[in-house]
Amino acid sequence: MMAIISGRKLSKKIREDIKKDVSKLVSETAKIPHLVVVLVGDNPASQSYVKYKKRACKEVGIKSTVINEKESITEQELLTMINRLNDDESVHGILVQLPLPDHIDENKVIDTIKLQKDVDGFHPLNLGYMLLGRDGILPATPKGIITMLKSENINLEGKDALIIGRSNIVGKPLGTLLMKENATVTTAHSRTQNLKEKCLRSDVIVAAVGRPKLVTEDMVKPGAVVIDVGVNRVDNKLVGDVDYEAVKDKVSYITPVPGGVGPMTITSLLQNVVLCFKRIELT
Ligand code: GUN
The rounded Å distance from CA 82 to ligand 1 centre is 16
Q: What is the DSSP-derived secondary structure letter of residue 135?
A: S
CA 229, 230, 233, 235 torsion-angle sign: negative
Give the pLDDT band of residue 248 (cuts 50, 70, 90).
very high
Q: What is the DSSP-derived secondary structure letter of residue 238?
A: E
Nearest-atom index, ligand 1, CA of 98: 10
Domains 30-114 and 140-262 equal at CATH topology level: yes
Q: Which residues are catalytically annotated?
A: 53, 97, 120
The predicted-structure confidence for 22-35, as pLDDT tens digits, reads as follows 999 999 999 999 99
- 179 pLDDT higher than 90: yes
- Distances in Å between the alpha carbon of 235 and those of 79, 212, 229, 238, 239? 38, 12, 19, 8, 10
The predicted-structure confidence for 59-71, as pLDDT tens digits, reads as follows 999 999 999 999 9
- b/e per residue, 84-113, with b = 16+ CB within 10 A? ebeeeeebbbbbbbbebbeebeeeebbebb
The rounded Å distance from CA 270 to ligand 1 centre is 13
The domains of the chain are located at 30-114, 140-262
Arithmetic mean of pLDDT, 167-194: 98
Residue of 48, 49, 117 best suited for mutating to test ligand 1, as the one with most atoms within 8 Å of CB = 49
Provide residues with CB under 6 Å of ligand 1.
95-98, 120, 140-141, 169
The rounded Å distance from CA 266 to ligand 1 centre is 10
Question: Whose CA is closest to atom 9 on ligand 1?
Answer: 97
CA 230 to CA 140: how far, in whole Å? 15
Give the pLDDT band of residue 271 (cuts 50, 70, 90).
very high
The rounded Å distance from CA 97 to ligand 1 centre is 5
CA 141 to CA 167: how far, in whole Å? 11
pTM to 2 decimal places: 0.98
Q: What is the DSSP-derived secondary structure letter of residue 251?
A: -
How distant is the alpha carbon of residue 132 from its chain centre?
19
Question: Whose CA is closest to atom 3 on ligand 1?
Answer: 98
The percentage of the chain sitting over the pLDDT mark of 90, rounded to a whole number, equals 99
Q: Is domain 30-114 annotated with CATH 3.30.470.30?
A: no
Nearest-atom index, ligand 1, CA of 141: 6
Nearest-atom index, ligand 1, CA of 139: 6
Arithmetic mean of pLDDT, 38-51: 97
Nearest-atom index, ligand 1, CA of 99: 1
- 1 pLDDT higher than 90: no
pLDDT of residue 139: 98
The rounded Å distance from CA 158 to ligand 1 centre is 31
Question: Whose CA is closest to atom 4 on ligand 1?
Answer: 98
Phi-psi region of 205 (alpha: psi -120 to 50; beta: other; left: phi over 0): beta
CA 38 to CA 36: how far, in whole Å? 7
The rounded Å distance from CA 98 to ligand 1 centre is 5
Give the pLDDT band of residue 283 (cuts 50, 70, 90).
confident
Arithmetic mean of pLDDT, 84-90: 98
Nearest-atom index, ligand 1, CA of 265: 6
The predicted-structure confidence for 123-174, as pLDDT tens digits, reads as follows 999 999 999 999 999 999 999 999 999 999 999 999 999 999 999 999 999 9
CATH architecture of 140-262: 3-Layer(aba) Sandwich (3.40)
pLDDT of residue 212: 98
CA 158 to CA 134: how far, in whole Å? 22
pLDDT of residue 163: 99
Question: Whose CA is closest to atom 2 on ligand 1?
Answer: 98
